[in-house]
Amino acid sequence: MSYFVYIIESETNLKWYYGQTGNLDQRIINHNEGKSSYTRNKGPWKLIFKRAFETRSEAIKFEAKLKALRNKSYIKKEFNNYFIRDVTSR
């Protein structure tokens, strides 16, 4: 089983949400159906970043690193190959 660190972006205000999960497809559905308290009423959400890890522990550590950075420009530059679509122009 793979674990994923992901970033979703609100299509209404362009804010990012960072998360980790073992079931990425279902997690994105949950965000868009309002089943996550933080992202409820702030979407719709679009998946813009995903990175796979072998263990949940690795995913949790990387998620914490991204959350600590909170610098979109640096994240876009440093981890560009994990972005699903080009967000470097924004």
* Per-residue model confidence (pLDDT) at position 61: 98
* Per-residue model confidence (pLDDT) at position 70: 84
* Per-residue model confidence (pLDDT) at position 85: 73
* Per-residue model confidence (pLDDT) at position 90: 52
* Per-residue model confidence (pLDDT) at position 87: 56
Q: Which residues of the chain fall short of a pLDDT of 70? A: 86-90
* Per-residue model confidence (pLDDT) at position 1: 84
Please tell me the distance from the alpha carbon of residue 72 to that of residue 68, in angstroms, as a whole number. 11
